[in-house]
Structure 1
Protein backbone atom coordinates (compact mmCIF):
# COMPACT_ATOMS: atom_id res chain seq x y z
CA UNK A 1 0.00 0.00 0.00
CA UNK A 2 1.57 3.37 -0.99
CA UNK A 3 2.24 5.92 1.69
CA UNK A 4 2.03 9.70 1.39
CA UNK A 5 4.82 11.95 2.56
CA UNK A 6 3.75 15.55 3.25
CA UNK A 7 6.24 18.18 2.21
CA UNK A 8 6.04 21.35 4.31
CA UNK A 9 4.95 24.62 2.68
CA UNK A 10 4.06 22.89 -0.60
CA UNK A 11 0.89 21.14 -1.75
CA UNK A 12 1.33 17.68 -3.15
CA UNK A 13 -0.14 16.70 -6.50
CA UNK A 14 -1.25 13.11 -6.84
CA UNK A 15 -1.52 11.82 -10.39
CA UNK A 16 -2.66 8.42 -11.44
CA UNK A 17 -1.08 6.33 -14.17
CA UNK A 18 -3.07 3.49 -15.61
CA UNK A 19 -1.80 -0.01 -14.80
CA UNK A 20 -3.10 -3.42 -15.53
CA UNK A 21 -4.57 -3.84 -12.06
CA UNK A 22 -8.26 -3.28 -11.51
CA UNK A 23 -8.49 -2.35 -7.88
CA UNK A 24 -10.03 0.88 -6.63
CA UNK A 25 -10.51 2.62 -3.36
CA UNK A 26 -14.22 3.12 -2.70
CA UNK A 27 -14.78 3.89 -6.40
CA UNK A 28 -13.09 7.30 -6.10
CA UNK A 29 -9.89 6.26 -7.93
CA UNK A 30 -9.92 4.51 -11.35
CA UNK A 31 -9.42 0.78 -11.05
CA UNK A 32 -6.10 0.83 -12.97
CA UNK A 33 -4.45 3.89 -11.42
CA UNK A 34 -1.33 4.21 -9.27
CA UNK A 35 -0.61 7.32 -7.24
CA UNK A 36 2.50 9.29 -8.14
CA UNK A 37 3.64 12.12 -5.88
CA UNK A 38 4.61 15.44 -7.44
CA UNK A 39 5.67 18.58 -5.67
CA UNK A 40 3.97 21.80 -6.64
CA UNK A 41 5.94 24.41 -8.63
CA UNK A 42 3.77 27.20 -7.29
CA UNK A 43 5.13 29.63 -4.68
CA UNK A 44 3.23 29.96 -1.48
CA UNK A 45 3.04 32.49 1.28
CA UNK A 46 5.31 31.80 4.27
CA UNK A 47 2.34 32.32 6.52
CA UNK A 48 0.58 29.29 5.07
CA UNK A 49 0.26 26.70 7.82
CA UNK A 50 -2.01 24.05 6.36
CA UNK A 51 -0.64 21.43 4.09
CA UNK A 52 -2.89 20.68 1.16
CA UNK A 53 -3.43 17.59 -0.95
CA UNK A 54 -4.36 18.49 -4.52
CA UNK A 55 -5.54 15.87 -7.02
CA UNK A 56 -3.92 16.33 -10.40
CA UNK A 57 -4.88 13.97 -13.21
CA UNK A 58 -2.15 12.47 -15.38
CA UNK A 59 -2.06 12.29 -19.16
CA UNK A 60 -4.40 9.30 -19.14
CA UNK A 61 -7.03 11.16 -17.13
CA UNK A 62 -10.67 10.32 -16.56
CA UNK A 63 -12.88 12.96 -18.33
CA UNK A 64 -15.44 14.78 -16.23
CA UNK A 65 -18.49 16.29 -18.00
CA UNK A 66 -19.54 19.88 -17.24
CA UNK A 67 -22.84 20.22 -15.35
CA UNK A 68 -25.83 21.10 -17.56
CA UNK A 69 -26.88 24.79 -17.64
CA UNK A 70 -29.70 25.71 -15.24
CA UNK A 71 -33.19 25.84 -16.74
CA UNK A 72 -34.67 29.29 -17.54
CA UNK A 73 -36.49 30.84 -14.59
CA UNK A 74 -40.29 30.50 -14.57
CA UNK A 75 -42.46 33.61 -14.95
CA UNK A 76 -42.45 35.77 -11.81
CA UNK A 77 -45.15 34.73 -9.34
CA UNK A 78 -45.90 31.78 -11.57
CA UNK A 79 -47.50 34.09 -14.10
CA UNK A 80 -49.33 32.92 -17.21
CA UNK A 81 -47.57 32.48 -20.55
CA UNK A 82 -47.12 35.55 -22.70
CA UNK A 83 -49.22 34.29 -25.59
CA UNK A 84 -52.27 33.95 -23.33
CA UNK A 85 -51.81 37.49 -22.00
CA UNK A 86 -51.41 38.80 -25.56
CA UNK A 87 -54.61 37.04 -26.63
CA UNK A 88 -56.64 38.47 -23.74
CA UNK A 89 -55.26 41.97 -24.36
CA UNK A 90 -56.22 41.72 -28.03
CA UNK A 91 -59.71 40.59 -27.02
CA UNK A 92 -60.09 43.63 -24.76
CA UNK A 93 -58.81 46.06 -27.38
CA UNK A 94 -61.24 44.59 -29.90
CA UNK A 95 -64.13 45.04 -27.45
CA UNK A 96 -63.43 48.77 -26.93
CA UNK A 97 -62.39 49.68 -30.46
CA UNK A 98 -64.77 51.97 -32.34
CA UNK A 99 -66.43 53.22 -29.14
CA UNK A 100 -64.81 56.69 -29.25
CA UNK A 101 -63.18 56.10 -25.85
CA UNK A 102 -66.57 55.05 -24.47
CA UNK A 103 -68.62 58.05 -25.60
CA UNK A 104 -70.42 55.85 -28.15
CA UNK A 105 -70.74 52.78 -25.91
CA UNK A 106 -74.12 51.12 -25.47
CA UNK A 107 -75.12 48.98 -22.50
CA UNK A 108 -74.13 45.87 -24.45
CA UNK A 109 -70.75 47.43 -25.28
CA UNK A 110 -70.18 48.20 -21.61
CA UNK A 111 -70.89 44.59 -20.63
CA UNK A 112 -68.56 43.16 -23.30
CA UNK A 113 -65.72 45.51 -22.35
CA UNK A 114 -66.14 44.74 -18.65
CA UNK A 115 -66.14 40.97 -19.26
CA UNK A 116 -62.99 41.19 -21.40
CA UNK A 117 -61.28 43.34 -18.76
CA UNK A 118 -62.16 40.89 -15.98
CA UNK A 119 -60.59 38.02 -17.93
CA UNK A 120 -57.33 39.94 -18.25
CA UNK A 121 -57.43 41.08 -14.62
CA UNK A 122 -58.05 37.51 -13.46
CA UNK A 123 -55.20 35.94 -15.38
CA UNK A 124 -52.80 38.79 -14.56
CA UNK A 125 -53.22 38.45 -10.81
CA UNK A 126 -53.03 41.11 -8.14
CA UNK A 127 -51.01 44.25 -8.84
CA UNK A 128 -48.35 45.20 -6.29
CA UNK A 129 -47.26 48.80 -6.87
CA UNK A 130 -44.82 48.63 -3.98
CA UNK A 131 -42.77 46.40 -6.29
CA UNK A 132 -43.84 47.55 -9.77
CA UNK A 133 -44.21 51.30 -9.22
CA UNK A 134 -41.71 52.01 -12.01
CA UNK A 135 -44.19 50.56 -14.51
CA UNK A 136 -46.47 53.55 -13.89
CA UNK A 137 -43.85 55.94 -15.18
CA UNK A 138 -44.61 57.61 -18.51
CA UNK A 139 -47.37 59.05 -20.65
CA UNK A 140 -50.46 56.87 -20.96
CA UNK A 141 -53.17 57.24 -23.58
CA UNK A 142 -56.77 56.59 -22.60
CA UNK A 143 -58.50 54.36 -25.13
CA UNK A 144 -61.65 53.56 -23.14
CA UNK A 145 -63.60 54.78 -20.13
CA UNK A 146 -66.92 53.27 -19.16
CA UNK A 147 -67.77 56.57 -17.44
CA UNK A 148 -67.86 58.39 -20.78
CA UNK A 149 -71.01 56.48 -21.68
CA UNK A 150 -72.85 59.00 -19.51
CA UNK A 151 -72.12 61.50 -22.32
CA UNK A 152 -70.32 63.92 -20.01
CA UNK A 153 -66.62 64.68 -19.85
CA UNK A 154 -66.73 64.26 -16.11
CA UNK A 155 -67.76 60.65 -16.36
CA UNK A 156 -69.82 59.58 -13.36
CA UNK A 157 -69.00 62.92 -11.72
CA UNK A 158 -70.56 66.22 -12.88
CA UNK A 159 -68.84 67.51 -15.99
CA UNK A 160 -69.52 69.51 -19.14
CA UNK A 161 -71.86 67.67 -21.50
CA UNK A 162 -70.96 66.83 -25.06
CA UNK A 163 -73.44 67.51 -27.81
CA UNK A 164 -75.61 70.40 -28.89
CA UNK A 165 -75.96 72.16 -25.55
CA UNK A 166 -72.27 72.90 -25.33
CA UNK A 167 -70.29 72.25 -28.54
CA UNK A 168 -67.26 70.52 -27.05
CA UNK A 169 -65.50 67.81 -29.00
CA UNK A 170 -63.28 65.50 -26.99
CA UNK A 171 -59.87 64.76 -28.47
CA UNK A 172 -57.16 62.56 -27.03
CA UNK A 173 -56.90 62.01 -23.29
CA UNK A 174 -53.62 61.22 -21.55
CA UNK A 175 -52.25 60.61 -18.09
CA UNK A 176 -48.70 61.74 -17.40
CA UNK A 177 -47.19 60.08 -14.32
CA UNK A 178 -43.85 60.86 -12.70
CA UNK A 179 -43.06 58.43 -9.89
CA UNK A 180 -40.19 60.58 -8.55
CA UNK A 181 -42.01 63.92 -8.22
CA UNK A 182 -45.37 62.19 -7.56
CA UNK A 183 -46.97 64.27 -10.34
CA UNK A 184 -50.14 62.85 -11.85
CA UNK A 185 -51.53 64.98 -14.69
CA UNK A 186 -54.70 64.36 -16.66
CA UNK A 187 -54.26 65.93 -20.09
CA UNK A 188 -57.36 66.47 -22.25
CA UNK A 189 -57.43 67.79 -25.82
CA UNK A 190 -60.64 69.68 -26.66
CA UNK A 191 -62.23 71.50 -29.55
CA UNK A 192 -64.51 74.38 -28.58
CA UNK A 193 -67.18 75.31 -31.07
CA UNK A 194 -67.53 78.98 -32.01
CA UNK A 195 -70.01 80.81 -34.29
CA UNK A 196 -69.63 80.22 -38.00
CA UNK A 197 -67.47 80.95 -40.00
CA UNK A 198 -64.75 80.90 -37.34
CA UNK A 199 -62.89 77.59 -36.97
CA UNK A 200 -63.11 75.64 -33.70
CA UNK A 201 -60.69 76.61 -30.99
CA UNK A 202 -58.31 73.85 -30.02
CA UNK A 203 -57.11 73.77 -26.42
CA UNK A 204 -55.27 71.39 -24.15
CA UNK A 205 -56.40 71.28 -20.52
CA UNK A 206 -53.98 69.89 -17.94
CA UNK A 207 -55.45 68.91 -14.58
CA UNK A 208 -52.43 68.67 -12.29
CA UNK A 209 -52.51 66.31 -9.31
CA UNK A 210 -50.18 64.76 -6.79
CA UNK A 211 -50.52 61.07 -6.05
CA UNK A 212 -49.72 58.66 -3.27
CA UNK A 213 -50.07 54.91 -2.82
CA UNK A 214 -52.85 53.53 -0.66
CA UNK A 215 -52.06 49.91 0.03
CA UNK A 216 -50.48 47.79 -2.67
CA UNK A 217 -52.63 48.59 -5.73
CA UNK A 218 -54.69 51.69 -4.95
CA UNK A 219 -53.70 55.27 -5.86
CA UNK A 220 -54.97 58.45 -4.27
CA UNK A 221 -54.77 61.68 -6.29
CA UNK A 222 -55.06 65.21 -4.91
CA UNK A 223 -56.04 67.97 -7.31
CA UNK A 224 -53.80 71.05 -7.48
CA UNK A 225 -54.67 73.23 -10.49
CA UNK A 226 -55.99 73.35 -14.06
CA UNK A 227 -54.02 74.94 -16.88
CA UNK A 228 -55.44 75.59 -20.35
CA UNK A 229 -53.14 76.04 -23.33
CA UNK A 230 -54.36 77.01 -26.78
CA UNK A 231 -53.24 74.86 -29.70
CA UNK A 232 -53.33 75.16 -33.47
CA UNK A 233 -53.41 78.74 -34.77
CA UNK A 234 -53.49 80.13 -31.23
CA UNK A 235 -50.61 78.07 -29.85
CA UNK A 236 -48.47 81.20 -29.34
CA UNK A 237 -50.79 82.43 -26.60
CA UNK A 238 -49.48 81.86 -23.06
CA UNK A 239 -51.14 79.18 -20.93
CA UNK A 240 -53.99 80.24 -18.69
CA UNK A 241 -54.34 78.91 -15.16
CA UNK A 242 -57.97 78.56 -14.13
CA UNK A 243 -58.58 79.59 -10.51
CA UNK A 244 -59.69 76.80 -8.24
CA UNK A 245 -63.26 76.96 -7.00
CA UNK A 246 -63.37 77.84 -3.29
CA UNK A 247 -64.30 74.96 -1.05
CA UNK A 248 -67.56 76.61 0.09
CA UNK A 249 -68.81 76.82 -3.52
CA UNK A 250 -67.62 73.42 -4.64
CA UNK A 251 -70.26 70.68 -4.92
CA UNK A 252 -69.95 67.90 -2.33
CA UNK A 253 -69.11 65.38 -5.06
CA UNK A 254 -66.11 67.44 -6.19
CA UNK A 255 -63.68 67.31 -3.29
CA UNK A 256 -60.55 67.42 -5.42
CA UNK A 257 -59.51 64.01 -4.10
CA UNK A 258 -60.07 60.72 -5.86
CA UNK A 259 -58.98 57.11 -5.58
CA UNK A 260 -58.74 54.28 -8.06
CA UNK A 261 -57.29 50.79 -8.10
CA UNK A 262 -54.82 49.52 -10.68
CA UNK A 263 -56.22 46.12 -11.58
CA UNK A 264 -53.79 45.20 -14.37
CA UNK A 265 -50.37 46.59 -15.26
CA UNK A 266 -47.54 45.67 -17.58
CA UNK A 267 -45.04 47.60 -19.68
CA UNK A 268 -47.63 48.87 -22.19
CA UNK A 269 -51.15 48.29 -20.82
CA UNK A 270 -52.89 49.49 -17.68
CA UNK A 271 -56.42 48.89 -16.36
CA UNK A 272 -57.95 50.84 -13.49
CA UNK A 273 -61.21 50.71 -11.57
CA UNK A 274 -62.35 54.05 -10.18
CA UNK A 275 -63.84 54.76 -6.79
CA UNK A 276 -67.25 54.91 -8.50
CA UNK A 277 -66.81 51.75 -10.48
CA UNK A 278 -65.68 53.12 -13.82
CA UNK A 279 -63.31 50.99 -15.91
CA UNK A 280 -60.49 52.74 -17.75
CA UNK A 281 -58.09 51.20 -20.26
CA UNK A 282 -54.75 52.87 -21.03
CA UNK A 283 -51.87 52.08 -23.36
CA UNK A 284 -48.41 53.60 -23.16
CA UNK A 285 -47.83 56.37 -25.70
Structure 2
Protein backbone atom coordinates (compact mmCIF):
# COMPACT_ATOMS: atom_id res chain seq x y z
CA UNK A 1 0.00 0.00 0.00
CA UNK A 2 1.41 3.41 -0.90
CA UNK A 3 2.16 6.15 1.68
CA UNK A 4 0.17 9.39 1.77
CA UNK A 5 0.60 12.64 3.65
CA UNK A 6 -2.07 13.65 6.13
CA UNK A 7 -2.92 17.38 6.39
CA UNK A 8 -4.92 18.36 9.48
CA UNK A 9 -4.66 20.92 12.35
CA UNK A 10 -2.16 20.39 15.16
CA UNK A 11 -5.00 19.88 17.64
CA UNK A 12 -6.82 16.56 17.13
CA UNK A 13 -10.47 16.64 15.98
CA UNK A 14 -13.25 16.27 18.55
CA UNK A 15 -13.72 12.64 17.64
CA UNK A 16 -10.23 12.01 19.04
CA UNK A 17 -10.53 14.07 22.19
CA UNK A 18 -13.83 12.56 23.30
CA UNK A 19 -13.15 8.93 22.46
CA UNK A 20 -11.02 6.48 24.38
CA UNK A 21 -10.53 4.41 21.25
CA UNK A 22 -7.39 4.75 19.18
CA UNK A 23 -9.33 4.47 15.91
CA UNK A 24 -11.32 7.22 14.25
CA UNK A 25 -13.23 7.97 11.07
CA UNK A 26 -10.92 8.85 8.18
CA UNK A 27 -10.98 8.28 4.43
CA UNK A 28 -11.44 4.71 3.41
CA UNK A 29 -8.28 2.70 3.13
CA UNK A 30 -6.50 4.23 6.15
CA UNK A 31 -6.48 2.91 9.67
CA UNK A 32 -4.60 5.58 11.69
CA UNK A 33 -3.44 5.22 15.21
CA UNK A 34 -2.44 8.41 17.07
CA UNK A 35 0.22 8.61 19.75
CA UNK A 36 0.68 12.08 21.32
CA UNK A 37 3.88 12.67 23.32
CA UNK A 38 4.65 15.86 25.30
CA UNK A 39 8.34 16.60 25.13
CA UNK A 40 9.80 19.36 27.32
CA UNK A 41 12.37 21.60 25.72
CA UNK A 42 15.79 21.31 27.33
CA UNK A 43 17.23 24.38 29.05
CA UNK A 44 18.31 25.81 32.41
CA UNK A 45 16.05 28.86 32.02
CA UNK A 46 12.57 28.22 30.55
CA UNK A 47 10.50 31.28 29.78
CA UNK A 48 6.77 31.20 29.31
CA UNK A 49 7.38 31.11 25.56
CA UNK A 50 9.73 28.12 25.80
CA UNK A 51 7.45 26.14 28.11
CA UNK A 52 5.60 24.39 25.31
CA UNK A 53 4.99 20.80 24.22
CA UNK A 54 5.85 19.19 20.95
CA UNK A 55 3.16 17.06 19.40
CA UNK A 56 4.45 14.14 17.34
CA UNK A 57 1.70 12.52 15.32
CA UNK A 58 2.31 9.18 13.71
CA UNK A 59 0.11 7.34 11.22
CA UNK A 60 0.29 3.59 10.94
CA UNK A 61 -0.16 2.54 7.34
CA UNK A 62 -0.37 -1.12 7.12
CA UNK A 63 1.19 -3.36 9.67
CA UNK A 64 4.42 -2.23 11.32
CA UNK A 65 4.83 0.79 9.01
CA UNK A 66 4.78 4.40 10.38
CA UNK A 67 5.08 7.80 8.70
CA UNK A 68 5.86 10.94 10.70
CA UNK A 69 3.79 13.91 9.58
CA UNK A 70 5.09 16.46 12.19
CA UNK A 71 8.86 16.66 12.45
CA UNK A 72 10.31 17.80 15.81
CA UNK A 73 12.33 21.07 15.78
CA UNK A 74 16.07 20.93 16.46
CA UNK A 75 17.03 20.78 20.11
CA UNK A 76 17.70 24.18 21.69
CA UNK A 77 21.06 24.82 23.43
CA UNK A 78 21.29 25.31 27.14
CA UNK A 79 20.89 28.93 28.24
CA UNK A 80 23.93 30.16 30.26
CA UNK A 81 23.35 31.73 33.63
CA UNK A 82 23.45 35.53 33.62
CA UNK A 83 26.92 36.95 34.29
CA UNK A 84 27.26 38.92 37.56
CA UNK A 85 26.47 42.61 37.19
CA UNK A 86 29.09 45.29 37.74
CA UNK A 87 27.29 46.36 40.91
CA UNK A 88 27.60 42.80 42.24
CA UNK A 89 31.29 42.61 41.32
CA UNK A 90 31.88 45.99 42.91
CA UNK A 91 30.22 44.78 46.11
CA UNK A 92 32.43 41.67 46.05
CA UNK A 93 35.56 43.83 45.78
CA UNK A 94 34.52 46.17 48.59
CA UNK A 95 33.70 43.16 50.76
CA UNK A 96 37.12 41.61 50.03
CA UNK A 97 39.02 44.71 51.19
CA UNK A 98 36.79 45.68 54.11
CA UNK A 99 38.37 45.21 57.53
CA UNK A 100 41.93 45.27 56.13
CA UNK A 101 42.70 48.81 57.38
CA UNK A 102 43.39 49.94 53.80
CA UNK A 103 45.75 46.99 53.38
CA UNK A 104 47.87 47.42 56.50
CA UNK A 105 46.29 44.30 58.03
CA UNK A 106 46.32 42.21 54.83
CA UNK A 107 48.08 38.84 54.64
CA UNK A 108 48.91 36.86 51.51
CA UNK A 109 45.47 35.29 51.35
CA UNK A 110 43.81 38.71 51.66
CA UNK A 111 46.02 40.10 48.90
CA UNK A 112 45.02 37.26 46.56
CA UNK A 113 41.30 37.63 47.26
CA UNK A 114 41.42 41.38 46.66
CA UNK A 115 43.35 40.92 43.42
CA UNK A 116 40.90 38.29 42.14
CA UNK A 117 37.88 40.47 42.95
CA UNK A 118 39.53 43.49 41.28
CA UNK A 119 40.30 41.52 38.11
CA UNK A 120 36.67 40.40 37.82
CA UNK A 121 35.44 44.00 38.01
CA UNK A 122 38.14 45.19 35.60
CA UNK A 123 37.09 42.57 33.07
CA UNK A 124 33.42 43.55 33.37
CA UNK A 125 34.23 47.25 32.99
CA UNK A 126 36.25 46.83 29.84
CA UNK A 127 39.03 49.10 28.56
CA UNK A 128 39.23 52.51 30.27
CA UNK A 129 39.32 55.50 27.94
CA UNK A 130 40.65 58.74 29.44
CA UNK A 131 40.92 60.64 26.18
CA UNK A 132 40.19 64.35 26.04
CA UNK A 133 36.42 63.91 26.14
CA UNK A 134 36.58 61.50 29.11
CA UNK A 135 39.34 63.00 31.25
CA UNK A 136 36.73 64.75 33.45
CA UNK A 137 35.92 61.37 34.98
CA UNK A 138 39.11 61.70 37.05
CA UNK A 139 38.09 65.05 38.51
CA UNK A 140 37.44 65.20 42.25
CA UNK A 141 38.58 64.00 45.64
CA UNK A 142 39.03 60.24 45.92
CA UNK A 143 39.37 58.26 49.13
CA UNK A 144 41.76 55.32 49.23
CA UNK A 145 40.14 52.23 50.73
CA UNK A 146 42.79 49.65 49.80
CA UNK A 147 46.41 49.52 48.74
CA UNK A 148 48.33 46.29 48.30
CA UNK A 149 51.55 48.17 49.08
CA UNK A 150 50.55 48.81 52.69
CA UNK A 151 50.88 45.11 53.49
CA UNK A 152 54.66 45.66 53.43
CA UNK A 153 54.23 47.68 56.65
CA UNK A 154 55.74 50.80 55.11
CA UNK A 155 53.91 53.83 53.79
CA UNK A 156 55.95 53.64 50.61
CA UNK A 157 55.11 50.05 49.77
CA UNK A 158 57.61 48.71 47.27
CA UNK A 159 59.25 52.14 47.22
CA UNK A 160 61.25 53.56 50.15
CA UNK A 161 58.99 55.01 52.83
CA UNK A 162 58.68 55.50 56.58
CA UNK A 163 57.91 52.28 58.47
CA UNK A 164 54.89 51.83 60.68
CA UNK A 165 55.52 50.24 64.05
CA UNK A 166 57.19 50.76 67.37
CA UNK A 167 60.49 52.13 66.07
CA UNK A 168 58.69 55.05 64.45
CA UNK A 169 55.13 55.14 65.81
CA UNK A 170 53.15 56.50 62.90
CA UNK A 171 49.43 55.84 62.74
CA UNK A 172 48.04 56.16 59.25
CA UNK A 173 44.73 57.95 58.98
CA UNK A 174 42.68 58.59 55.86
CA UNK A 175 44.40 58.85 52.48
CA UNK A 176 42.96 60.91 49.63
CA UNK A 177 43.83 61.82 46.07
CA UNK A 178 42.79 65.25 44.86
CA UNK A 179 42.82 65.53 41.08
CA UNK A 180 42.24 68.71 39.08
CA UNK A 181 42.11 67.97 35.36
CA UNK A 182 42.40 71.65 34.37
CA UNK A 183 45.52 72.57 36.37
CA UNK A 184 46.93 69.02 36.11
CA UNK A 185 47.36 68.93 39.90
CA UNK A 186 47.56 65.49 41.45
CA UNK A 187 47.87 65.61 45.24
CA UNK A 188 48.19 62.69 47.61
CA UNK A 189 46.83 63.78 51.00
CA UNK A 190 47.75 61.63 53.99
CA UNK A 191 46.45 62.04 57.54
CA UNK A 192 49.05 60.98 60.10
CA UNK A 193 49.33 60.72 63.86
CA UNK A 194 52.87 60.86 65.22
CA UNK A 195 53.59 59.45 68.64
CA UNK A 196 55.28 61.72 71.21
CA UNK A 197 57.01 61.05 74.57
CA UNK A 198 54.73 61.07 77.59
CA UNK A 199 53.10 63.35 78.73
CA UNK A 200 52.91 65.08 75.35
CA UNK A 201 49.85 64.22 73.25
CA UNK A 202 50.27 62.63 69.82
CA UNK A 203 50.86 65.06 67.00
CA UNK A 204 48.21 65.02 64.31
CA UNK A 205 49.11 66.32 60.88
CA UNK A 206 48.14 66.23 57.23
CA UNK A 207 50.87 65.73 54.65
CA UNK A 208 50.12 66.82 51.09
CA UNK A 209 52.40 65.39 48.43
CA UNK A 210 51.86 67.65 45.42
CA UNK A 211 52.38 66.29 41.90
CA UNK A 212 51.66 67.27 38.34
CA UNK A 213 50.22 64.64 36.03
CA UNK A 214 49.96 63.94 32.33
CA UNK A 215 47.98 61.39 30.39
CA UNK A 216 49.97 58.76 28.51
CA UNK A 217 47.93 56.81 26.01
CA UNK A 218 44.30 56.14 26.80
CA UNK A 219 44.44 54.99 30.43
CA UNK A 220 47.97 55.47 31.80
CA UNK A 221 48.94 58.44 33.97
CA UNK A 222 52.39 59.75 34.76
CA UNK A 223 52.91 61.89 37.87
CA UNK A 224 55.92 64.02 38.80
CA UNK A 225 56.54 65.03 42.40
CA UNK A 226 56.83 68.73 43.23
CA UNK A 227 56.73 69.30 47.00
CA UNK A 228 55.49 68.06 50.38
CA UNK A 229 53.56 70.32 52.72
CA UNK A 230 52.74 69.37 56.32
CA UNK A 231 49.89 71.02 58.23
CA UNK A 232 49.48 70.29 61.93
CA UNK A 233 46.02 69.67 63.39
CA UNK A 234 44.41 69.56 66.81
CA UNK A 235 46.28 71.42 69.55
CA UNK A 236 48.86 72.63 67.05
CA UNK A 237 46.49 73.63 64.26
CA UNK A 238 47.52 77.31 64.54
CA UNK A 239 51.02 76.56 63.36
CA UNK A 240 51.62 77.59 59.73
CA UNK A 241 52.01 74.88 57.11
CA UNK A 242 55.56 73.59 56.76
CA UNK A 243 57.02 72.86 53.34
CA UNK A 244 59.59 70.12 53.57
CA UNK A 245 62.77 70.61 51.55
CA UNK A 246 62.96 68.46 48.48
CA UNK A 247 65.81 66.02 48.20
CA UNK A 248 67.86 66.74 45.04
CA UNK A 249 67.31 64.16 42.31
CA UNK A 250 71.02 63.31 42.32
CA UNK A 251 70.72 62.19 45.96
CA UNK A 252 67.55 60.22 45.51
CA UNK A 253 67.71 56.43 45.16
CA UNK A 254 67.11 55.19 41.64
CA UNK A 255 63.80 53.64 42.72
CA UNK A 256 62.47 56.95 44.04
CA UNK A 257 63.04 59.74 41.53
CA UNK A 258 59.89 61.59 42.49
CA UNK A 259 57.84 60.36 39.56
CA UNK A 260 55.83 57.29 38.71
CA UNK A 261 53.25 55.80 36.40
CA UNK A 262 50.05 53.89 36.95
CA UNK A 263 47.18 52.65 34.83
CA UNK A 264 43.52 53.25 35.52
CA UNK A 265 41.98 49.82 35.02
CA UNK A 266 38.41 50.56 36.13
CA UNK A 267 36.53 53.84 36.46
CA UNK A 268 32.93 54.83 36.95
CA UNK A 269 31.14 57.61 38.79
CA UNK A 270 32.12 56.43 42.29
CA UNK A 271 34.85 53.76 42.07
CA UNK A 272 38.36 53.72 40.60
CA UNK A 273 40.95 50.94 40.39
CA UNK A 274 44.58 51.60 39.51
CA UNK A 275 47.62 49.38 39.02
CA UNK A 276 51.04 50.91 39.49
CA UNK A 277 54.29 50.46 37.63
CA UNK A 278 55.56 48.22 40.44
CA UNK A 279 52.43 46.07 40.62
CA UNK A 280 50.54 48.08 43.24
CA UNK A 281 46.77 47.58 43.34
CA UNK A 282 44.80 50.52 44.71
CA UNK A 283 41.05 50.97 45.11
CA UNK A 284 39.42 54.37 45.53
CA UNK A 285 35.88 55.62 46.09
CA UNK A 286 34.70 59.15 45.50
CA UNK A 287 34.83 61.21 48.68
Give yes or no for TM over 0.5.
yes
Q: Distance between the aligned counterparts of 2:83 and 2:123, measured in 1?
A: 14
Q: In the alignment, does 2:113 pair up with 1:85?
A: no
Match of 2:124 in 1: 123
Q: In the alignment, does 2:210 pair up with 1:192?
A: no
Match of 1:101 in 2: 102
Q: In the alignment, does 2:285 pair up with 1:283?
A: yes
Match of 2:205 in 1: 203
Q: Distance between the aligned counterparts of 1:154 and 1:97, measured in 2?
A: 21
1:257 to 243, 256, 259: 259
Deviations 1:203-248 (A, max 9, x none): 0000000000000000000100000000111111100000100122
Deviations 1:95-128 (A, max 9, x none): 0000000000000000000000000000000000
Secondary structure, counterpart of 1:252 in structure 2 = coil
Secondary structure, counterpart of 1:115 in structure 2 = helix
1:267 CA drift (Å): 0.5
Equivalent residue runs for 1:115-264 within 5 Å: 115-130=116-131, 131-264=133-266
Structure 1 stretches of 4+ with a deviation exceeding 4 A read: none
Question: Is there any run of 5+ residues in structure 1 with no aligned partner, and where?
Answer: 1-80
More strand by share: 1
Secondary structure, counterpart of 2:134 in structure 1 = helix
Deviations 1:33-90 (A, max 9, x none): xxxxxxxxxxxxxxxxxxxxxxxxxxxxxxxxxxxxxxxxxxxxxxxx9981111000
Q: Distance between the aligned counterparts of 1:279 and 1:140, measured in 2?
A: 15
Secondary structure, counterpart of 1:87 in structure 2 = helix
State how many pairs are aligned: 205
> TM-score normalised to the size of structure 2?
0.70
Q: Distance between the aligned counterparts of 1:196 and 1:83, measured in 2?
A: 53
Q: Distance between the aligned counterparts of 1:223 and 1:178, measured in 2?
A: 15
CA 1:265–1:82 in 2, change beyond 3 Å: closer, same or farther?
farther
Secondary structure, counterpart of 1:245 in structure 2 = coil
Q: Distance between the aligned counterparts of 1:115 and 1:220, measured in 2?
A: 25
Secondary structure, counterpart of 1:144 in structure 2 = strand
Q: Distance between the aligned counterparts of 2:279 and 2:84, measured in 1?
A: 29
> TM-score normalised to the size of structure 1?
0.71
RMSD over equivalenced CA pairs, Å: 1.3
